[in-house]
Amino acid sequence: MSTDSQTLPVIDLDRCDGCGKCVLACPAKALSVAGAKVKVVHTNCEYCGECEAACPTGAIACPYDIVLG
């Protein structure tokens, strides 16, 4: 499943410390760390929420509900 820009995780760059735990947790390999901050690789993100759960600083949020139908 691919997503559009409205269904990507929201990254709070002020809270992100670049630890990379979200990158390791992402099954779609949709995250990378660049310049000591995480970024989402738009074409890979499946919006599963694993990154949000793995982030120790609370810098990642998946605030949108995905409705399949």
Write the CATH number for 30.
Answer: 3.30.70.20
38 close to 59: Cβ distance less than 8 angstroms: yes
Domain assignment of residue 52, given as a range:
5-61
Q: Considering the domain boundaries, does residue 17 fall inside one?
A: yes
Q: pLDDT tens for residues 26-60? A: 999 999 999 999 999 878 899 999 999 999 999 99
Q: Considering the domain boundaries, does residue 66 fall inside one?
A: no
Of 1, 14, 7, 3, which Cα lies nearest the Cα of 64?
A: 7
pLDDT band at 3 (very low <50, low <70, confident <90, very high): very low
- This model's pTM is above 0.75: yes
Q: Considering the domain boundaries, does residue 55 fall inside one?
A: yes
Q: Considering the domain boundaries, does residue 25 fall inside one?
A: yes
| Count of the separate structural domains present in the chain | 1
Q: Considering the domain boundaries, does residue 9 fall inside one?
A: yes
